[in-house]
Amino acid sequence: MSIKLSSYALAAILGLASGHVLADVFVICNSGTQIAAGEIKDVFTGEKQLAGSTKLVPVDNGPAQSAFLASVLKIDAARYGTIWTKKSFREGLTQPAVKSGDGEVLDFVRKTPGAVGYVTSQPSGVNIIQKF
C-alpha cells in the first residue's frame, strides 16, 4: 500500500516539476472564423495564415501554454520559440501575443476577426475547434 502511495506522490511531484498541468484545453476561434482541427498546429506555427480571406491571429494563453504545447502541438517551449524565431527572420512573422489567462484570451478572440486561441474552461460566444 505504501509503495502505491509513494508512486502516486512521485507522479504528482514529477507532473508539477515538469510544468505540465493536466487540464482540458479548448482551442477556440472567433465566431466568424472557420478552422479545422487538423489545421491547429499550422495556425500556431505560422504555416497557415488565412482562413478564406480572413487573416488569422493566433494568441497564446500564458498560464495554459505549457499544457497546450505538450498536448496539442506536441512540442516544448524551447522548440516553439525556435520555430517563431526562424519565422520572424525568414518571413517577417511575429510570434503570437501572450495573454494573461482565459478571460483575456476569450475577450480577444470574441472581439478580433480571425483570432484563434485556447482556454482551460468551457468557453461561450466563440467557436470551439477541438477539446484536448
Query: What residues does each domain of the chain span?
Result: 20-131
Residues 105-114: tens digit of each pLDDT = 999 999 999 9
Cα 128 to Cα 16, 106, 114, 115, distances in angstroms: 28, 11, 13, 12
User: Which residues are bridge partners to 77 per DSSP?
Assistant: none
pTM: predicted TM-score of the whole model, two decimal places: 0.83
Residue 85: exposed, middle, or buried by beta-carbon count in 10 A (0-12, 13-18, 19+)? exposed
Residue 3 confidence (pLDDT) above 70: no
What pLDDT, on a 0 to 100 scale, did the predictor assign at position 23? 77
Classify residue 100 by its DSSP letter: S
Residue 12 confidence (pLDDT) above 70: no
CB within 8 A of 4, min separation 6: which ones? none
Residues 43-75: tens digit of each pLDDT = 999 999 999 999 999 999 999 999 999 999 999
Q: Tell me yes or no: is domain 20-131 CATH 1.10.3720.10.
A: no
- For residue 22, name the pLDDT band (cuts at 50, 70, 90): low
- In the predicted model, what is the mean pLDDT of the chain? 88
Q: By three-state DSSP, how is residue 36 classified?
A: coil
Inter-residue contact 59 to 95 (CB < 8 Å): no
